[in-house]
Amino acid sequence: MNWVPDQGREVSTKPEAGASMLRLAEELFPICRSITGNGVRQTLQILSRFIPLQVAEVPSGTAALDWTVPREWNVRAAYIAKLDGTRVIDFEQNNLHVLQYSTPLDRIVPLDELRNHLHTLPEHPDWIPYRTSYYSETWGLCLTHHQLEALTDEEYRVVIDSTLADGHLTYAECIIKGEIDREVLLSCHICHPSLANDNLSAIVVATMLAQHLRNAKPRHTYRFVFIPGTIGSLTWLSRNERKLGLIDHGLVLSCLGDSGHINYKQSRRGNSSIDRIVAHVLRTEPGDHRITPFVPYGYDERQYCSPGFNLPVGCLMRSPNGEYPEYHSSGDNLSLLRPESLAHSLAVLKRIVEVIDGDVTYRSCNAKGEPQLGRRGLWGGLGGLRSAGYDQMALLWVLNLADGQHSLLDMAERSGLPFSSIRAAADALVNAELLEPVV
């Protein structure tokens, strides 16, 4: 039995959809996440209130293709204080203040030495940069450039209460079984601390899409993967290599909550089904969009699309990474998220899902000449039948191209009509016993 999408109906972009995602983002924002550690676990525990998650714990030292799972990092406190105890920089105020994977420290540091371990954004002097040192052990703190300029004492006490020890890398999957075993992979990284658009927005949108699909009984099986960037996808790929042949379509989700228009980065193949599907959906969406070819830089699509795997995985974003000024800084805070943008991103993904699961190839049961549609209740006045989600042109295109060689997506692309209209017309023709699916 074929999964039936919301034929011809508008996918909800109601304000409450965006508001509920924003509330979840607000709850998750203060958590200090990294590529390992308790921040990831705490985040996944919150997400498990909304969707069922299968959590994996991969020990430090485990081989992940050419990489190795690193030691686990956790931080409890970090600050710079004057010698009288007054704190001038404090992790409690913003978790971006600590260099990710900073080694522990508690000593008096001369200002000249301290400056070598401080990171700022001179071009944005009121923002704290997001900096990491995952694979090179050192210590450091991040601060605004104005705060750096205010450091005038000869010495400061520096405390970084962190641990870097053997532990685990944590990731989670939400698997929504469909009518068939063929899979759609949806991946987002979960390693960023208090950064709202990158990538908290994608986490909440993915969660709500998974929640929607649980109630939709999809045709494909959908696999949502919440992973730390790079090392997470490498670890997941190394542990699931035998299953990768089941993946028909894939998307990496990121930066989905700001006011920018939708951007889609194609898979390495450039002509995979997901590339065609997203292009069609965006073409029939109101507003601007941009489609760019694959480049081996960005998010985890570069791991999924590495030549040894070459999976059909693209990347869906609004403002792409590095193309908005607040990227990787404290400027990427909750004020950057727009409820209407979150709702629109979710709606676009629902439309993509409708095409993925609704794309079928049919053969006409009456291919010699046009069948008489009027006596079957399928022909009205000019432009009629739109209340059913399609018009007469959709019927005529489907009848003409239903030769067993053209899928519904082929028909939508050739006709220039929305997939939902083509699908609704096809369903009406199937109900009238004028089409049959090609098995």
Residue ranges for the known binding site are: 192, 198, 328
Closest by alpha carbon to 223, among 210, 234, 235, 211?
Answer: 210
**Residue 181 burial (10 A CB sphere; 0-12, 13-18, 19+):** exposed
| Residues 201 and 189 sit within 8 Å (Cβ to Cβ) | no
Residue ranges for the binding site for Zn(2+)?
A: 192, 198, 328
Taking the C-alpha atoms of residue 341 and residue 331, their distance in angstroms, rounded to an integer, is 18
Give me 27's structure tokens. Answer: 């709850």
13 Cβ contact partners less than 8 Å away, ≥ 6 residues apart: 340, 343, 344, 346, 347
- Number of other residues whose CB lies within 10 A of the CB of residue 125: 13
Taking the C-alpha atoms of residue 46 and residue 50, their distance in angstroms, rounded to an integer, is 8
Q: Give how far Cα 431 sits from Cα of 113, 304, 383, 427, Å.
A: 77, 40, 21, 6
- Asked if the bond preceding 116 is cis, omega within 30° of 0, the reply is no
Which amino acid does the sequence have at 72?
A: E
Taking the C-alpha atoms of residue 302 and residue 189, their distance in angstroms, rounded to an integer, is 13
- Number of other residues whose CB lies within 10 A of the CB of residue 193: 21
Strand partners, 189: 227
Closest by alpha carbon to 295, among 274, 272, 314?
Answer: 314
